[in-house]
A and B are shown apart, each in its own frame.
Chain A
Amino acid sequence: GAVVSQHPSRVICKSGTSVKIECRSLDFQATTMFWYRQFPKKSLMLMATSNEGSKATYEQGVEKDKFLINHASLTLSTLTVTSAHPEDSSFYICSASGGASYNEQFFGPGTRLTVL
């Protein structure tokens, strides 16, 4: 089956620093990747959609200058949380679709970000 990995699985950082989260599709080429955020006891909220080689499309209310998304290759997308603050602490999850399973989304295991 299609496998999506995320790195790191957990990260703790100081307020004001930037954090980069990687999302990789391990056994298929992901033409589209999605980034979600999930607060405790809440559902997943879509942040942005990124297509390989083009700019990401952000959902309403998501600051594109704060959450930088790069999808430079068909197997890697990165989310950088710039100048992180405690309210950015959340569970960040990516998903990927592409190849033979164009319409299916395969999710990564998530990254737990804690900003002190």
Chain B
Amino acid sequence: DAKTTQPPSMDCAEGRAANLPCNHSTISGNEYVYWYRQIHSQGPQYIIHGLKNNETNEMASLIITEDRKSSTLILPHATLRDTAVYYCIVRLASSNTGKLIFGQGTTLQVKP
């Protein structure tokens, strides 16, 4: 699975949009971009995933560049409860093992 690069930390004001970038320049054509987050001392929580089109759900939006070498997770109105470590992971959705390889992620601190 391709590696990803994320900034180690970001701050965001409560109520504002949080834009979390991820670089995955070695992604292959059949690999998806997944986002998970981990709130302190809890298990990771699935947020969203996509292949090439932009995706939106009740939690967030995922914007993938046309060349698929980078993506941005957008939390439209960040709250204090969104403070967490956000992981961008590239993997084969149809992989027999379905392994998720976690990088260091981005620690998002939402401030009042």
Contact = CB atoms under 8 A, between A and B. Distances in A.
Given A103-B94, A104-B46, A49 B99 contact: yes
B100 interface: yes
B99 A34 contact: yes
Given A91-B41, A106-B46, A108-B43, A46 B99 contact: yes
Interface in A38-85: 43-46, 49, 57
Interface in A99-116: 102-110, 112
Nearest to B49: A104
Interface residues of B, number: 21
Interface bracket on A:
20 to 34
A77 to B, nearest CB: 14
Interface of A: 4, 6, 32, 34, 36, 43-46, 49, 57, 91, 93, 95, 97, 102-110, 112
18 contacts: A6-B43, A34-B100, A36-B102, A43-B102, A43-B104, A44-B44, A44-B102, A49-B97, A49-B98, A91-B41, A93-B44, A97-B98, A104-B46, A105-B98, A108-B43, A109-B42, A109-B43, A110-B43
